[in-house]
Amino acid sequence: MAEIGQHILSAFDRDMESLQGLLMRMGGMVETALLEAAEALDTRDSDLAARVRAGDHAIDALEEQVNTGCARILALRNPAASDLRTILAVMKIAAALERAGDYAKNLAKRTVVLAEMPVVSGASSAIRRLAKAVVEMLADALDAYIRRDLKLAEDVRRRDKDIDQMYNSIFREFLTHMMEDPRNIGPCMHLHFIAKNIERVGDHATSVAEQVIYLVTGAVHLDERPKFDATGSEAGA
């Protein structure tokens, strides 16, 4: 009987390793998509933006694989306690990554439009810095998941406030540009949409970190994350 139990445990571990590999592939693709979308905006590279948009299908397909794998484990292994928590966390992390990929695709779509508009001084480089900070946050959240690193996960959660502050600073710059020259209104509206999308990716990175905290401690964060949105719009994931 013990031998059968060990076999089931080993099969579960193998299944989880496979799912973990899919998550890491998803994470890597999302990180690349965000950085390349920001680069395409900065360099006005419509071809690169098109490749980012096309690559979103692969991210969606990986999420489908993760969900199918989780459903299979739930049906065949009947996991309980910490194993069940792991499965639920994996599904939520995959959903967060898929949404982050959608935001990268949206960024790339706007980039094509902005390539035909006047350049707003300093805007694309500021957005590129924001994207880099968010990608670092997402990478750390995934690293915390792999290592079950509670300290790193909590650090990622705290850094969400830094991303909000960067976003609000960029928004204020856009307001200044629009007031100084009405011709900047069109491109600044698109740029604001892009910045907001990147800030939302930061929210999803925070969600990944919160799943790590849940995995390690069993605790669910019910308290609202501190959010400060100078735009007056609703801030959240």
Domains of the chain, earliest start first = 2-217 (1.20.58.220)
38-44 mean pLDDT: 93
Is the dihedral angle over the CA atoms 133, 135, 139, 141 positive or is it negative?
Answer: positive
Q: Which H, E and C letters describe the chain, residue by residue?
A: CHHHHHHHHHHHHHHHHHHHHHHHHHHHHHHHHHHHHHHHHHHCCHHHHHHHHHHHHHHHHHHHHHHHHHHHHHHHHCCCHHHHHHHHHHHHHHHHHHHHHHHHHHHHHHHHHHCCCCCCCCHHHHHHHHHHHHHHHHHHHHHHHHHCCHHHHHHHHHHHHHHHHHHHHHHHHHHHHHHHCHHHHHHHHHHHHHHHHHHHHHHHHHHHHHHHHHHHHCCCCCCCCCCCCCCCCCCCC
Q: Is the confidence at residue 235, as pLDDT, over 50?
A: no
The per-residue pLDDT for 231 is 53
Rounded to two decimals, the pTM is 0.87
- Give per-residue pLDDT as tens, 82-141: 888 899 999 999 999 999 999 999 999 999 899 889 889 889 899 999 999 999 999 999
Q: Is the confidence at residue 234, as pLDDT, over 70?
A: no
- Give per-residue pLDDT as tens, 160-175: 999 999 999 999 999 9
In the structure, what pLDDT confidence band is assigned to residue 23 with cuts at 50, 70 and 90?
very high
User: What are the structure tokens assigned to 160, written together?
Assistant: 């969400």
